[in-house]
Structure 1
Amino acid sequence: MDNSRLPVRFYVPLTLLCFLLAKLVFAGLFFYSERSAAPVPILKSRLALAKGTEATTGEDKTEGSSLNTEPLIPPTGQDRGIRLKALEAKRLQIEQERRLLQEEQKQLTALKQEINQKLSRLTKVQDAIQARIAEQQTRHDKRIKHLIKIYTTMPPKKAATLIEKLDMEVIIALFSRMKGEKVGQILPYVVPDKAARIVEKLARQD
């Protein structure tokens, strides 16, 4: 029996120890590889985002430059002709409206003159009527004064007989201008019914 060889009971713990050491080594390597590989996708995503932003900015600049640098198209002869026709039509319309306004102004002026002439004629007619009324009133007043003078100088009975033949308006005009004393002398000789109406009308005037 060789004494240099270890007993079998020593191989089992040794094998387990080697297995544990190997497992620890593999676990450490795996953890290290995970940590070193993690920043790569983040970096890639950041680079992609930066490239996208640059691309968008470039497109905006391209569109802006295309808008700013787009040349203005000058109006063609046909466009100028259309504009001139529109302006001419507008000018003709304004001219027609101006003529219509002038015609209406003339008609209004003529109508105003006609109205003024009619008003002048009416004023003259009114003045003539008022003058005639004033003349008639003057004649009436003169007649009443003349009758008052006549009836106040004659006897009351005779005056009453003559006064009864006059219109009621003339009788009222006479008695309203006579002195009360003279009226009191004449009325008793007037027919009672007529005398009562005369007194009633005289009372209304007062």
Structure 2
Amino acid sequence: MMSRLATLGRINIPDVIFYPSAAALAALLIAFALMMQPRNASAVVTERELVFQGAALADLVNGPGTNVRFDPGHSDGPVARASSAASFEMAGNMSAGVAAFVPDEFETRISGRRIRVEFEVRTAGSSGPDTVRIGYFTTGYGDSGWRELPVSPRYSTISFEWDAPVHQGEEFNEAIGIWPDPQGENREILIRRIRVFILPDNS
């Protein structure tokens, strides 16, 4: 007699049902992860800039598939140590990775503006990942998408520019995310600084 597991393996879900359902589930998981946020009081917020550095890195949170811990006594200065136990291909569409939540007052300022998202990072050792992925998440009205960028054992600032969508009365619930190890092999990276900068209108 065919086992139940074997029977389950023969079930075929039509693409027109499967793909929209998978996309909806991924959106719900990301939204849920972003709602479980602390209200960050340590980030530096100015008219054009948002910076997470020093003690503010303690407020980073990990989404599904990733891990993060604050290391205030590191020889490089305070850092966040981040890794991933799941590959980006497996979990990257259902998670915001390791996330820094954006204070409400800064979210309103980037509406309709071009911004630059920056991470100052390095691998924790010579056998670390070659790349990480970074992105800006709005949970509902237009994310930046993940951008894959190189990292090395020396600190470098990786970044991308993006035109933030215009807010139209949505609830603000935004985050800056990083996927530490796209292969999901628990290789650590060190995050020393996260910055979002609003570019001049004529840039």
TM surpasses 0.5: no
Tell me which structure has the larger Cα radius of gyration. 1
**Structure showing greater relative contact order (alpha-carbon pairs closer than 8 Å, 6 or more residues apart):** 2
Which has a greater percent of helix?
1
TM-score, with structure 2 as normaliser: 0.23
TM-score, with structure 1 as normaliser: 0.23
